[in-house]
Structures are given as structure tokens and as C-alpha cells.
Chains A and B, each alone.
Chain A
Amino acid sequence: METFKSSYCPNYFSIEDILATQERVPVEVETDLKNLGFLDQGADNMDLARGTKLELPYWCVEGLNKSDQSRSYLMVDIPKTFKEMFREIMSADPLVVDLHKMGPYYYEFGRHLIKLSQTEGEAIGESISRTFMSRFREILDSSQNSADTDSLKVTSKMDMLERMLYKEGQKTKQGMDAWLTRKTGLISTSAMVAMHRKRKANFD
């Protein structure tokens, strides 16, 4: 169960969560922001004028919003892959959508967006949980039936969370097979050692 050890969001050290919060969010500047002209790479003014539209990483937006409740610097929009049009595509047929392309951490990023938008947050939350529910069946099914075949074709459309589940499913299947063929007593070389040896073999 090693892969689940570093679970997502509330975990400060989670590598996945850091990468997910790097995703960009479109925002519109609400008041003139002094000395922040560098955020808009197209223009070279010192200040950021009101009404400028730009895309910022999620952590920037969160940082700018949370510190001061009384006034907000930014009007936050939702990335287009979470907008209503895409949500409709999701509800039409969740299985064919390439989630990896829509952001490798689709669900995690979606969960962060819920906090960000009052108007659409709820709809996003519902959409991602529904998408996940219908896709999960497929993940479970394919992971149980392709224990040792090339899985790239199946996993290429999955987001990182789904890939993790898929791998975990395959492992369970392998464990079950080993048990059925009475091979559980077999000791094998540790994963890191095996990797190390492979590397070393290249030098010789």
C-alpha cells in the first residue's frame, strides 16, 4: 500500500498535491496592483492595471485571496476544462474523455476549484464525483484483467489518481494469482535493489 501513503490534499508533503496546485487558473484583476506588472508577461508596465486578464498558478491565486478578506485583488474564473460545456461532455460519456490531457491531476485540481468559485463550485464537485464513479468501474475491470499485458493504451487516458488505483488493482490481482498458485512464500529482490542493479549493469 505504499502508493497511498502520501495521500492527497491535506498532506503538506504530498508531491501530487504540489503539482496539482501548479495548474493555472484564469483571473481578472479587480484593482490596480502596484509593482506586479511582471505577472503579465505580454506588457512591460510596472503596475498591473485593473481589468487585465491573465492566468496564474492556483497557489498564487489562493495566496492572494486568503490573506485579506475585506478586499479582493482578483476575480477568479474557472479553467475551461471545468466549465459547463466540458461538464456536459463529462456527463454525456465520461469513459471516452482523456483526463490526462485535461490536467494530469484532474480530480485533485477540481477539488481545489470547488473552494474557489461560489457559483460553480457545487456543480464542479458533483461533476467530478459523477465522472469518477462511472470511470471507476472501467478502471477496476481493466486492472483485474490485464495483469501482465502492456497497459499503456488503457492508462494513457487516465488522470494520475486513476493510474494509481489501476496499479494498485493490478498488484492485488497479482497477489491473488500468487496465492492461488501457492507462490506467496517466495522471497524476491527488493524493488529498489533491483533497480539499482539494473543501473549498475549499464556501467559494466
Chain B
Amino acid sequence: MFGEKGLELVKEAARTHHSLIPFNEDVVRQTLEETRALWDANRTEVAETSAIGASITLRHAAIERNKRCLLAYLNHRVEKLRTMRWQFGAVLPEEMKMNLCEPEMEFFNKYNKALASYMRAVGTDLTNDNAPPKSLYIEVRVKQDHGEIETADGEVVLLKKGTQHHLPRDLCEQLVMQGVLEHVVS
């Protein structure tokens, strides 16, 4: 039956909501090959009979279907990448990068650049303060070693696993989102 490989991709996309699994190059290639074969079959049949019959119509429907599946798969991944920029920050973890294919990497970098230049133009960091802040300082617990950070007034804080700090909110919001710190209610 036609269109099965494409469906496999879509099912894979439906399964993975919160993570990005490796780009399924193999099945994508198979889908493309199937589509190309269908296209060639249609071309030869049209050349032979010069009429559009049922089999051509069906093959054409399968081509459109494959196209839709492929594009939906790619679109799903690009959407994921976009959310990842907001959740992980500008730099992706190494293990995540390995799951991307070359053009996706390029997309991510370009998206990064576009976002950065926009934020420069408007003069604010849009990724900060997603929700209206309630207080300037928050209490955080360090969940993994992160080295030193410097606050706006020049104080250097060592983020060592297990320690707890009272820090300016805007400084650590990103780190909390990235899972380095944990916001605790005092």
C-alpha cells in the first residue's frame, strides 16, 4: 500500500511530544524514493495512454499524501526546535545536537540570530520574565554545579550543588528554566 512510510513518520512525530528524537533520515529517504517512483510511473503511463485513469489519480493522491506527511514531520520538528530555543536557551546540550540533521542545525542557528538581533533592536531580553515577577529576589537551591556567577553589584556567587542562595530574579530565571537551579519557597 502507498503512503505507509510517510505515515510512519507522522506517527513518530505524534509519539514524541516533549523530546526531540534523532532525525529519521532512513524513512524520510524511503518516502522520497516512493514518491519519486510514483511520479515516474505516472509520467510513463500518461505518455503511453495520454488519458488520466484511475491508477494515475490514485498515485497522484499518494504523492500528495506523502508530501503532506513529510512536510508535517519536518514542520513538527521545526516547531520543537523553536520551543527548545525558549526552553534550553541559546546553546543546546551536546546530546540534543546529535539528534538534529544538518539543515535543522542551520535553522536553529538562524533562528537564534534572528531572535538575538530582534531582542537587541527592542532592547529587552524577551526570554526573561515570562510571568510577571512578584519579587526582585528569589530563593534558589543549586541542583548541579555551575561555576561562579557575578551579580549586578559585583558580588561573586559560587553555585555548588546542594547550596542555597538568595539571588536577583532576573539573574537566575534562565538557570531555573534550564534546570540548574530550583526555585524554593521560603
Which of A's residues lie within 8 Å of B, judged by CB?
2, 6, 12-16, 18-19, 22, 31, 33-36, 39, 57, 59-60, 62-64, 67-68, 73, 183-197, 199-200
Contact = CB atoms under 8 A, between A and B. Distances in A.
Given A33-B54, A36-B55, A185 B10 contact: no
A11 to B, nearest CB: 9
A83 B20 CA distance: 40
Interface stretch (B30-38, B58-66, B110-118, B156-164): B58-66
B177 to A, nearest CB: 5
A80 B88 CA distance: 47
B54 A13 contact: no
B131 interface: yes
Contacts of A73: 54, 57
B65 A14 contact: no
Contacts, number: 122
Interface of B: 1, 3, 7, 10-11, 13-14, 18-20, 52-55, 57-58, 60-62, 64-65, 68-69, 71-72, 75-76, 79-80, 83-84, 86-88, 93, 95-96, 131, 133-135, 138, 169, 173, 176-179, 182-183, 185
A125 B82 CA distance: 37
A193 B87 contact: yes
